[in-house]
Amino acid sequence: METIDFNKKIYCIDNIKKTAEEFKNLSDISVKEIGGKIKVTFDKIDPEYKDVIKDEFANFVLGLMG
């Protein structure tokens, strides 16, 4: 299991949810708001993408913010 904590003041939850939808075939993904953070949890990650999924996910979200 892997997690990313996005800062709510910087990242928009709608974009994180959209990204989770795009990445759903690569992993089980949950998105939860905890305090000032948006916690994204990746479970059952496609082994082929295990090393890059967190970074790719964060880049995808940032692409939607621009």
Among 24, 32, 33, 63, binds other proteins (CB under 8 A): 63
Measured CA to CA, the distance from residue 38 to residue 61 in angstroms comes to: 12
- Closer to other proteins at the Cβ: 1 or 25? 25
Among 18, 31, 39, 62, binds other proteins (CB under 8 A): 62
Least distance in Å: CB of 57 to other proteins?
10
Q: E strands of 1-66, at which residues?
A: 2-7, 28-34, 37-43
Among 1, 3, 10, 13, binds other proteins (CB under 8 A): 10
Tokens 């990204």, residue located: 19
| Amino acid sitting at position 29 | I
